[in-house]
Amino acid sequence: MFAREYEIIPNPPAPITWDEYAKESYIEYQLLLETENHNERAFQSFFEENPSFIPGAFELFGPSGHYPFSQSLISEPEIYGAPFRRFPDFIWLAQDSLYFTPVFVEIERPNKKTFTDAGVQTADFSQALGQIVEWKAILSEPESVLNFYRCFNIPDWMREKTFQPQFALIYGRRSEFEGQPFLQRKRAQLVQEGVSLISFDRLHPDPKCDDMLCTKLSQREYHVKTIPPTYRYSPATADNLKIVSGFQEAISKMKRTTPDRIKFLLDRYAYWRDYASKERKGIICPSDCE
């Protein structure tokens, strides 16, 4: 007879609430748009600290109910293999029951324009779209897909799914198109199938991503860079602790997190890491977390 094989500590030191986090992080993001719109690196760092702002964890088109592999937004991973070597800004290794859908996300600094004053596509936008077209071309080759699997240490059970990458380009501001419906329609026509063109104004924290990590891929290992302050341990996601390294070190660097909460997460890490290693998990209640 099945039973629960884990324990949940009642009333642990609480994380910041999602509503509070969403409000604070969105205010920070808006300030960044006002003061650092020329600085792409500032936004790369912000999204590393706040993975829930980057779309694609549950696919871009037709949201999945499955967690992405490694439960993390991967920042600037090196993807190599003849004849290419590339560093996308971000990748989600999204999936559902049938498809493995890595989501490639490229960002540009927000002050870049899509069109000139004469309504001509800018060189900056052409170059950004060219990056997406290049990724689509690279990943259309079977050998490139195998290289991708090797680089990301994708397990066999995921390789059995249909490989169907998606692409997002985060580019520009909504204000460029306000009151100019023709340019809006022209912009829409530039987007290829499987590509989502997103302005910086559309980004906001997604509550479904309240426990998503940010990792760095190095020699096929996922090293944790950041843990969101809303993160909670759960038996439903514990297996991801086996995939990533550096989790404990990242706990100590968590922002918007009280010392008591940090100590609790550190103390409980070994328990949940051991649970993840068990072959028999028993019954799991998805709402159980601490």
Phi and psi for 93 in degrees, rounded to 5? -95, 70
The region of weakest confidence among 7-21, 76-90, 186-200, 219-233 is: 76-90
Query: Is pLDDT of 82 > 60?
Result: no
The region of weakest confidence among 104-108, 182-186, 213-217, 251-255 is: 182-186
Q: Tell me, what's the pLDDT at 63?
A: 79
Angstrom CA distances, 71 to 75, 119, 237, 254, stand at 13, 41, 8, 17
pLDDT digits (tens, 9 = 90+) for 159-201: 999 999 999 999 999 998 888 888 888 888 888 888 999 999 9
- CA 29 – CA 113 distance, rounded (Å): 20
Query: Is pLDDT of 271 > 80?
Result: yes
CA 6, chain centre distance (Å): 28
pLDDT digits (tens, 9 = 90+) for 30-81: 999 999 999 999 999 999 999 999 999 999 987 788 999 999 999 999 887 6
Query: Is pLDDT of 20 > 50?
Result: yes
Q: Tell me, what's the pLDDT at 84?
A: 67
Q: Helices then strands (H, E): number in the chain? A: 8, 11
Query: Is pLDDT of 1 > 50?
Result: no
Query: Is pLDDT of 203 > 50?
Result: yes
Q: Label residue 117 by pLDDT band (50, 70, 90).
A: confident
Residue among 27, 29, 36, 48 nearest 110 (CA): 36
What share of residues in the chain are helix, strand, coil (percent, to 5)? 40, 20, 45
pLDDT digits (tens, 9 = 90+) for 87-115: 899 999 999 999 999 999 999 999 999 99
CA dihedral of residues 7, 8, 10, 16 (deg, nearest 10): 160
- CA 103 – CA 58 distance, rounded (Å): 9
- CA 204 – CA 55 distance, rounded (Å): 9
